[in-house]
Amino acid sequence: MPVVRGKNIEPLFTAEQIAERNKVLAQQIASGPTKDLLVIAILKGSFIFAADLLRALHDTGLAPEVEFITLSSYGAGTTSQGVRIVKDIDSDVRDRDVLLVDDILESGRTLRFAKELLYERGARHVSLAVLLDKSVKRQEELEADYVGFECPDYFVVGYGMDVAYAFRELPFVGVVTGDADE
């Protein structure tokens, strides 16, 4: 099992599996709504997935514009949970087909907020691409249009995702299972 900075990390989805899946997702996306396509990556967790997906989209012949939005959840674990914009996009989304890209769809609050925001701003169509779908955790009625993998209910790290700011750089998605010397 890979050991990274003293922790055992059990791979859940390998770099090879992810790369193969990204090609399939790109083909699916290319046959959906792509008028003046704008890809918006939700930071921070999606940055590696978005970078790889964009290059897979290029291979299908698409040339999307790329934007980034930083969203943050607040009130997690309380009754008043919400999402706020930490850093907004610069582009006008009016009459454009938008592809929102995120690492994980869990409760659905983040992506629901983002999707509604873009429709309010006049986007023509908004679709959702996520690397991982933790569907058992869903709180909102929301499904992604493009899903990399169904994810078991573990806290996962790597390929952009962190625990306490660590492990974003791992080329695979895995689960921290404990200290390597245990």
Query: Which residues here bind Mg ion, judged by CB under 5 A?
Result: 45
- Sign (positive or negative) of CA dihedral 138, 142, 111, 35: positive
Pick the piece of the chain touching ligand IMP (CB under 6 A) from 2-10, 31-39, 84-92, 99-107: 99-107
The reply to whether 133 sits near ligand IMP by the rule CB under 6 A is no
Say which entry of Mg ion, ligand IMP, none residue 70 contacts (CB below 5 to 8 A, set by partner kind): none
The reply to whether 115 sits near ligand IMP by the rule CB under 6 A is no
Please, which residues bridge with residue 149 across strands?
132
Distance between CA atoms of residues 77 and 70, nearest Å? 21
Reduced to 3 states (helix: H, G, I; strand: E, B; else coil), residue 113 is: helix
Minimum CB separation of residue 156 from ligand IMP in Å reads 4
Nearest CB to Mg ion, comparing residues 34 and 99: 99
Pick the piece of the chain touching ligand IMP (CB under 6 A) from 61-69, 84-92, 98-106, 116-124: 98-106
The reply to whether 52 sits near ligand IMP by the rule CB under 6 A is no
Using CA atoms, how far residue 101 sits from 116, 149, 177, in Å, is: 15, 14, 28
For 15-52, give the DSSP string: HHHHHHHHHHHHHHHHTS--TT-EEEEEETTTHHHHHH
What residues between 58 and 97 interact with ligand IMP by CB under 6 A? 73
Candidate list 50, 114, 117, 161; residue touching ligand IMP; CB under 6 A: 161
